[in-house]
Amino acid sequence: MRKMIDVDFGSTRYDELVELRYKILLEPLGLKFLDSHRSNEMNYLHIGCIESLDDKLIGGLMLAPIDNSMVRLMEVCVENKYQREGVGKAMVQYAANRAKEVGYEKMVMHARLTAVNFYEKCGFRQEGDIFEEQGLTFVKMILDL
Ligand SMILES: CC(C)(COP(=O)(O)OP(=O)(O)OC[C@H]1O[C@@H](n2cnc3c(N)ncnc32)[C@H](O)[C@@H]1OP(=O)(O)O)[C@@H](O)C(=O)NCCC(=O)NCCS
């Protein structure tokens, strides 16, 4: 069974989450993890998905506040062997509910072009132009909460 959890900044789970993010999002692109970025994440909401059988973290994401009504979804990742089993969608839905509870009205994100279909299946719509950052192509997407 899988369960969603809130992950405390600085906890052991948070370290696992940072490791998973590096493995799934950065390493395949030859990008380095910058430890200095961690302090920026202190006030973000971190969410993880746990496989209950072995207590392993198999997915994660974070929510960064933009203003009182808008939050940014970032760094969504699922462990390779658990991809395409509904974990990503369940995490995004959980995150949307958490954000709504806190009082946010909109969730925005920059989706890699390769993941746009996934976010559309999670209810996001494309908004604005396609743009490039660090050699990757992104699309701005938005979800009304
Ligand atoms: C993209 C990612 C987060 C999706 O999570 P996931 O658990 O594999 O996706 P789910 O199984 O919840 O998929 C939900 C739906 O989206 C579809 N989907 C998932 N990934 C997709 C992709 N890359 N392209 C197109 N459709 C995709 C699934 O087929 C499923 O469709 P369905 O509801 O009709 O069955 C995950 O595959 C991942 O970590 N990929 C590598 C890192 C990455 O690209 N992150 C996004 C950065 S913006």
Predicted local confidence at residue 113, as pLDDT? 92
Take residue 27 and report the two structure tokens written for it.
């390493």
Spatial distance between the Cα atoms of 64 and 42, rounded to a whole number of angstroms = 10
Q: How many structural domains comprise the chain?
A: 1
60: part of which helix (H) or strand (E)?
strand 56-65
CA distance between the termini of the chain? 27
pLDDT class of 24 with cuts at 50, 70, 90:
very high
Residue bearing tokens 């390493």? 27
Please report the pLDDT score of residue 29 as a whole number. Answer: 85
- CATH number reported for the structural domain that contains residue 95 in this entry: 3.40.630.30
Ligand 1 center to residue 1 CA distance, Å?
Answer: 19
> Which residues form the domain of 126?
2-144
| Residues lining ligand 1, Cβ inside 6 A | 24-25, 76-78, 83-89, 111-112, 114-115, 117-118, 121
Model confidence pLDDT, tens digit, residues 94-129: 999 999 999 999 999 999 999 999 999 999 999 988
The CA 115 to ligand 1 mean position distance, Å, reads 6
Ligand 1 center from residue 36 Cα (angstroms): 29
